[in-house]
Amino acid sequence: MGMVGYLVALPESKLAELRADEELVEEFLFPDDGDSEPENSIDLDKAWHGIHYLLTGEAEGGPEPLSLAVIGGEEFGPDIGYGPSRFLVSAQVQAIAEALKPLGREELAARFDPQDMERKDIYPDVIWTRDGDEALDYVLENYDVLRDHYLKAAARGDAMVQLLA
């Protein structure tokens, strides 16, 4: 199965409610005992770390605001498998959306370096050199989903919750 990246856009008021009572976080993220997904959520599958790498050139961290897009934010709530979820406030979502807006597939494809990704243990590390262009296409398809999600969230004034499960 492995680590899968999820992002959920939500109103600032809902984020404030979750931050005030962190016991509600897991129920919000996994409604109906995990049978449903929260509204305005996306699944980046296992492409999350590859997207982060293409945005920053790093396995962790990197220049903000792009370093916050996938695995940034401030931790909160219970451990949900691979640590607690993270949140971004609406101003951060806005900044990330503005930084993502001009970033197209061509620019990100030029940053694709399978050997460097393997050296830096970008998850899932076995696919980069083995699958090459297919791995790049997989990451770029998921990047399009991420970019669209941030642009819509920013337009609504939403905050964001990120998690690895």
Instruction: Assess whether pLDDT exceeds 90 at residue 7.
Output: yes
Architecture of domain 5-164: 3-Layer(aba) Sandwich (3.40)
**Averaged pLDDT for residues 64-92:** 95
Percent of the chain with pLDDT over 70: 99
Percent of the chain with pLDDT over 90: 93
DSSP lists the bridge partners of residue 27 as none
Domain boundaries, the chain: 5-164
Q: Can you tell me the distance from the alpha carbon of 108 to that of 40, in angstroms, rounded to the nearest whole number?
A: 25
Q: What is the pTM of this model?
A: 0.96
- Residue pLDDT, tens place only, 19-68: 999 999 999 999 988 789 999 999 999 999 999 999 999 999 999 999 99
CA distances from 109 to 69, 97, 106, 114, 139 (A): 18, 19, 5, 11, 9
Question: At residue 114, what are phi and psi to the nearest 5 degrees?
Answer: -55, -40
Instruction: Decide: helix, strand or coil at residue 26.
Output: helix
pLDDT of residue 162: 97
pLDDT of residue 1: 55
Strands (E), the chain: 5-10, 41-45, 74-79, 84-88, 159-164
Question: At residue 81, what are phi and psi to the nearest 5 degrees?
Answer: 120, -60
